[in-house]
Amino acid sequence: SDSDPLQDFCIGDLKASPSINGFPCKSAVSASDFFYSGLGGPLDTSNPNGVTVAPANVLTFPGLNTLGISMNNVELAPGGVNPPHLHPRATEVGTIIEGSVFVGFLTTNNTLFSKVLNAGEVFVIPRGLVHFQWNVGQVKARMITAFNSQLPGAVVLPSTLFGSNPEIPNAVLTRAFRTDVTTVQNLKSKFMRYE
Ligand code: GLV
Ligand code: MN
């Protein structure tokens, strides 16, 4: 859903300041600008959620600048969860390369659409809707996701709500979640990564 390009390509000059949409074009262009080797696994998924994402977006692969597309390699440990998140700037389409993944998204009316997918199966997440993936198999799961934006962005709900800097006031979160300060502080302690 990015805007249309007005030239064949515009390799992003990441050292320049981003302009209104993406990066200014780099002047010297070579073949290597159109290739990227960063999506290969295996990725280390030993983290609390059991998920690691390797992105090929404009920031890692500047050849995508102005072209309105990007991809991720997502690997999930058995039981691992890619936590509920949304992409403000893109629809997501993905395919399972290996393993067995419970994929779900929520409509703006809070209907959950979900399915367990295996290798070769494809899912779509409409732009801006909250979604998640859960490895329900016994082995590592791997999927490739793609986006109609060079930089889809990700709002990851747990860390957005409980790990922001500065913090959302406890009065807001206790009221919003209809719970107490102890519960909110406990959640914040798991997501706040700054001093
Ligand atoms: C999966 O949801 C991803 O954003 O790559
Ligand atoms: Mn996603």
Chain segment 40-49, per-residue pLDDT in tens? 989 999 999 9
Residue nearest to atom 1 of ligand 1 (CA): 145
Q: Considering only CA atoms, which of 76, 1, 67, 4 is closest in space to residue 46?
A: 76
Residue nearest to atom 3 of ligand 1 (CA): 145
Residue nearest to atom 2 of ligand 1 (CA): 132
pLDDT in tens, 164-190: 999 999 999 999 999 999 999 999 999
| pLDDT value at residue 194 | 57
In the DSSP assignment, the letter for residue 67 is: T
pTM over cut 0.90: yes
Residues of the chain with pLDDT under 70: 194-195
Report d(CA 120, CA 95) in Å as an integer: 6
Q: Which residue has the tokens 């390797």?
A: 54
* Domains of the chain, each with CATH number or no CATH: 1-149 (2.60.120.10), 163-195 (no CATH)
In the DSSP assignment, the letter for residue 16 is: S
Distance 12 CA to ligand 2 centre (A): 24
Distance 180 CA to ligand 1 centre (A): 32
Q: Among the atoms of ligand 1, which is closest to the Cα of residue 131?
A: 2
Distance 72 CA to ligand 1 centre (A): 7
* Single-letter amino acid code for the residue at 97: I
| pLDDT value at residue 27 | 93
- Per the rule left: phi > 0, alpha: psi between -120 and 50, beta: everything else, 190 is alpha
Distance 117 CA to ligand 1 centre (A): 15
